[in-house]
Amino acid sequence: MDKRLEAIVETLKERHAASLEESRGEVHVLLTRDAIIAALTLARDAHQFELLSTMTAIDYWPQTSPRFHVIYQLSSLANNVTLQFRVPVDEHEAPLPTASGVYEAANWREREIAEMFGITFDGHPDPRPLMLPHDMEGHPLRRDFPLGYEEPQFTFNYEEIDLRKPYAKE
Amino acid sequence: MTDLQEVPVGEFKHLVSERALRGETMLLNMGPQHPSTHGVLRLVLELDGETIVNCIPDIGFLHTGIEKNMEAKTYVKAEVMTDRLDYMNNMGNNLAYVMAVEKLVELDVPPRAQALRVILTELQRIASHLVWLGTMGLDLAAMSMFLYCFRERELILDIFELVSGQRMMVTYFRPGGVWRDVPVEFEKAVRDFIKIFPRRVDEYEQLLTRNPLFLDRVVKIGVLDGATALQHGVTGPMLRASGVNWDLRKARPYSGYEQYDFNVPVLTQGDTQARYLVRVQEMRESLKIVEQALNKLPMGPFTSDNRKFVPPPRSELGVSMEALIHHFKLWTEGFPAPDADVYSAVESPRGELGVLLAGDGGPKPRRVHWRTPSFGNLTVVPKIVRGHLVADLVAILASTDIVLGDIDR
């Protein structure tokens, strides 16, 4: 592990019982949902992680516990290091606390995760869906959501398919 | 006009000022089909007269489920989706993706392929900045800029067609190297471009940089400070125009960038003019990198010879049984990648372009997440347009250089 990361990782281990994964030169810190806001604040204020590069989730379906990992990819410009926080989440768990108070960049990212994975965030200032239509059902980036397709219409079956084809509501 | 229309307060209640609820200010819809939104971006503007009180972006009109689609394809076949993300930076997207795959499966790239990648991504950066410059000129009523910029961009697209057979959807970089070696005409085409391009940049600068009509529209418009920019996840030229010296090519060199001598232009004003100047300067710096990389372009293999990941050349198929087996396995099943997650980022013309790639042990990725720079860059626009006129919003939006394919994915 990079020397410049040791200080923050030690603090996180002590205060928040964080566990550590290292692969291919990257450091992933696993945290609980209660500790994540404190950990992000610590990273930003005490260890100069100015940039939340991205925030997303990974669906480990068919594994159910934990089903998701919510990922916070942090970057420090001053020290030129990166660090990844991960919070394991089950499917029907209570909402995660929002990180948009710590990093403004989390605002839209959390809206995206909420609509794409169905993981909700407590205290989010603007919980509307970001990209998907308001009447969209399901969460498309979950692994059990089918990759949809449209039946091609030819002259011989045009009307048959047209009857059951969903159109936008008037 | 159908593009600009009044909208009810309804769903935006928590985002507008109280005066909008009392009916003193007006909510106006701009886009999604509006020429200066550079694609399909809808902006809901709260206006007091012609002054912007609040701006609420509404995105997703170009959401094509690229991340989901990539999960259903093998690692090599998924690469064609990357060209279609940020359609101004096809080579750069290819690079970000293949670097993530190479990091995941721990595959080495020969020096010739790395140098070719640098040349082509830097040419792509110039092409992307040319489109930005042309459309920014168009938005600020400098029509001729658009024509000049597209004239030079065409030369770059011709080079891409020469090497990959495609002008835009190139898919030229492959895990382990590049698709094929460049043809013999490549060097002359790039040298010709290097020869004429500096003069052309001077021409653009003569038209705009000190043009009083242009300066009226850009100086002290949409000022963004470095701290706010970082809070919102802004990267790239937009961040460097706000006084933060941060370029991944310098900070975390990849693909051999540490061998080349180039400057990273940084300005501190943070306004629309600074963003313009940084990008124009970047075009000159990119050209320096292209020239250096071409001068010391090493000979040797253009792709890795690790047959577990890279298909054998066509000529071996008729004579080698093993080559035939590898060819068949790689194009039907694909190669398996370990059950691990990597995050790898490159500097695209718009900023940090990152790929979070999660393998599941099989030949298809579990998850591909794109950290696209335009996404972060757009989130800060509502902050910096407050108090400006609608016409200034057009200038600010042009200077952020958003690409909607990049934002909506």
Whole-angstrom CA distances from B315 to A88, B7, B177, B191, B319 are 49, 63, 18, 31, 8
Picking from B77, B341, B378 by the largest number of A CB atoms within 10 A of its own CB, the best residue to mutate is: B341
Are residues B61 and B40 in contact, defined by beta-carbon separation less than 8 angstroms?
yes
What are the contacts of B204-213 at 24+ separation with CB within 8 A?
B204/B133, B204/B145, B204/B148, B204/B149, B204/B280, B205/B280, B207/B137, B207/B142, B207/B144, B207/B145, B207/B148, B208/B137, B208/B142, B208/B145, B208/B276, B209/B276, B209/B277, B209/B280, B211/B142, B213/B141, B213/B142
Answer whether residue B79 is part of any domain: yes
Q: Which of these ranges, A73-82, B30-39, B349-358, has the smallest mean pLDDT?
A: B30-39
Q: Which residues of A touch B (CB under 8 A)?
A: 23-24, 26, 28, 50-54, 56, 58-60, 71, 73, 75, 77, 80, 82, 84, 103-105, 107-108, 125-126, 128, 130-133, 140-141, 143, 145, 147
- pLDDT for the residue numbered A93: 80
Are residues B364 and B71 in contact, defined by beta-carbon separation less than 8 angstroms?
yes
CA distance A165 to A153: 10
Which ipTM value was assigned to this complex? 0.85
Q: How far apart are the first and last CA of chain A?
A: 58
Give chain B positions within 8 Å (CB) of A141: 67-68, 367
Q: Which CATH superfamily is domain A3-164 in?
A: NADH:ubiquinone oxidoreductase Nqo5 subunit (3.30.460.80)
Cis peptide before A97 (omega within 30 of 0): no
- pLDDT for the residue numbered A9: 79
Answer whether residue B15 is part of any domain: no
Contact A54 B356 (CB under 8 A): yes
Q: Which of these ranges, A38-52, A77-91, B25-39, B58-72, has the smallest mean pLDDT?
A: B25-39
Q: What is the DSSP letter of A140?
A: T
Contact A54 B68 (CB under 8 A): no
Answer whether residue B317 is part of any domain: no
Picking from A2, A28, A67, A108 by the largest number of B CB atoms within 10 A of its own CB, the best residue to mutate is: A108
Q: Is the Cβ of B67 closer than 8 Å to some Cβ of chain A?
A: yes
Residue B183's CB is within 10 A of a number of other CB atoms, namely 10
CA distance B115 to B257: 9
CA distance B336 to B339: 9
pLDDT at B1 over 50: no
Count the domains in chain B: 1
- pLDDT for the residue numbered B358: 92
Model-level pTM greater than 0.95? no
CA distance A110 to A108: 5
Residue A110's CB is within 10 A of a number of other CB atoms, namely 24
Share of chain B above pLDDT 90, in %: 46
CA distance B377 to B231: 11
Q: What is the full DSSP assignment across B258-271?
A: GGS-------S--S
- Strand-pair partners of B55: B45
Answer whether residue B232 is part of any domain: yes
- For CA atoms B40, B343, B366, B326, give the dihedral sign: positive
Structural domain boundaries enclosing B179 = 75-304+337-381
- pLDDT for the residue numbered A168: 61
Answer whether residue B391 is part of any domain: no
Judged by DSSP in three states, B73 sits in: coil
Answer whether residue B235 is part of any domain: yes
Give chain A positions within 8 Å (CB) of B11: 128
Domain ranges of chain A: 3-164
Digits of tens for pLDDT over chain A (170 positions)?
777 888 887 888 888 877 888 888 888 998 888 888 988 998 888 888 989 999 999 998 888 888 899 999 999 988 889 999 999 998 888 888 998 889 989 999 999 999 999 898 988 888 888 888 887 778 888 888 878 766 777 888 888 888 877 766 55
- pLDDT for the residue numbered B214: 87
Which of B:86-145 have CB within 8 Å of A? 103-104, 106
How much is the mean pLDDT over chain B?
89
Residue B298's CB is within 10 A of a number of other CB atoms, namely 13
Contact A73 B343 (CB under 8 A): yes
Answer whether residue B53 is part of any domain: no
Cis peptide before B32 (omega within 30 of 0): yes
Torsion region of A137: left, alpha or beta (phi above 0 gives left; psi -120 to 50 gives alpha): beta
- For CA atoms B350, B352, B358, B359, give the dihedral sign: positive
Question: Cα dihedral angle (B242, B244, B247, B250), rounded to 10 degrees?
Answer: 140
Residue B237 burial (10 A CB sphere; 0-12, 13-18, 19+): buried
Q: Is the Cβ of B366 closer than 8 Å to some Cβ of chain A?
A: yes
List pLDDT tens digits, range B207-225: 888 888 888 888 888 899 9
| CATH code assigned at B364 | 1.10.645.10
Nearest to A132 among B60, B341, B358 (CB): B60
Q: Binning pLDDT at 50, 70 and 90, where does residue B5 land? A: low
Residue the block writes with tokens 């990725």 = B365
Q: Is the Cβ of B339 closer than 8 Å to some Cβ of chain A?
A: no
